[in-house]
Amino acid sequence: MGKIRDSVDAKALRFAVGFPVLLAAAFVVCAFLLRPDVPDPLAVSWSASGPSGYAPFSAFVAAGGLIIVLVGWLTLGQAVPLTRPAVMRRIMMGAGLTVTLFVTTALAAVLVGQAGIADVHEARVDMSVLALGSGAALALGVILGFVFKADERWSVDDDRALEEALDRELDPEIAMDSVRLWVHARSSVFVMLGIASLFPAALISIVVPWLGVLLVALAVLAAAFLFARIIVDRSGLRVFVAGIVRVMEVPASAISSASPAEVRAADYGGWGYRNHGGTTAMLVSSGPAVVVNRADGRKVAVSGGSADSAARVAAVLSRVAARARGEKRPPLP
């Protein structure tokens, strides 16, 4: 029982259970107040020619109250588990309130639309009740989503944040051992790609539209692969093509040395990701780069952006590699 209590938000659970029940009770009470003015049986479905389905008053009220309770429990209950992100729980709380109130509004519109009629064949859905109730349901759901304060509990993310904070306290140099860098080809390269693809695509699309679209898509894909995201931290080096696809991962313990260098992309097979022999390269242009020698004899080369950023990446890689091998320990405070 204690595990269940630790895994749910007690306040949200009380609201998710109690609100639909109270709303269903209010619907039943109001329905019986209208009982003398509505026909029995009630129309519950319509076709183009008018009412097509009927149900006894008591069955309609009982089924309506049950539907309100079940829909409310199902939707509002999504905001109860603490394992879900707080933002998601707030959204589900607001959405649950909106859906529950909308179901109640639809049932009330059916009931009010038949009040005061002599013949059940004249029954209709009261659109004023449906429109006003739906608007109020949406507005109240949005308000609840903003004001609902999700009950925060200690989570795995908090453990990770605490561990990082302790590492920073014990090792003040940890902030220096992290570099995040974006590198890309020169602007002239993208201009050349645009000229070589957009103009021919415009002419080709006159005859074969899909082929012109394909040519533009290929040019965009090629341009994306001339971007790279470089992450250096105490775990080592990671390189992502187009900022998403990981193509390199070198652990800090596997790095023998790292140094900045001026390289020619042609010497490594050209622009983009290349893997030839004992060398792996991700170069978006010729110029400043970082050359990493691995402990197994292989070599890695990545573009460094500018000379300063390449020197910084090389220095951080050298420092984290030395720390991983135990050659240098940061001083304790």
Higher-pLDDT residue of 98, 38: 98
Mean pLDDT of 26-34: 88
Domain 163-185+226-324 has CATH 2.30.29: yes
Judge whether 117 and 39 are in contact, CB under 8 Å.
Answer: yes
Q: Say what percent of the chain tops pLDDT 90.
A: 8
Predicted local confidence at residue 167, as pLDDT: 64
CB contact at 8 A, 10 and 91: no
Tens digits of per-residue pLDDT, 263-272? 888 888 788 8
Which is it for strands 287-294 and 299-303: parallel, antiparallel or unpaired? antiparallel
pLDDT for residue 327: 59
| Whether the predicted pLDDT of 143 surpasses 80 | yes
- Max CA distance (Å), the chain: 94
- Cα(304)–Cα(286) distance, integer angstroms: 10
The region of weakest confidence among 6-10, 97-101, 259-263 is: 6-10
pLDDT digit string, tens, across residues 191-209: 787 777 777 777 777 777 8
pTM of the model: 0.47
Greater confidence, 16 or 275?
A: 16
- The domain spans of the chain are 2-147, 163-185+226-324
CB atoms within 10 A of CB 209: 11
Whether 239 has a pLDDT exceeding 60, the answer reads yes
SS3 260: strand
Token pair, residue 298, equals: 């292989």
Q: For residues 140-165, give the mean pLDDT.
A: 75
Q: Using omega within 30 degrees of 0 as the cis cutoff, is the peptide bond preceding 331 cis?
A: no
Q: Is the pLDDT of residue 7 over 80?
A: no
Per residue in 268-311, pLDDT tens?
A: 878 888 887 778 888 888 888 888 888 888 888 888 888 888 88
Closest CA to 201 of 188, 184, 219: 219
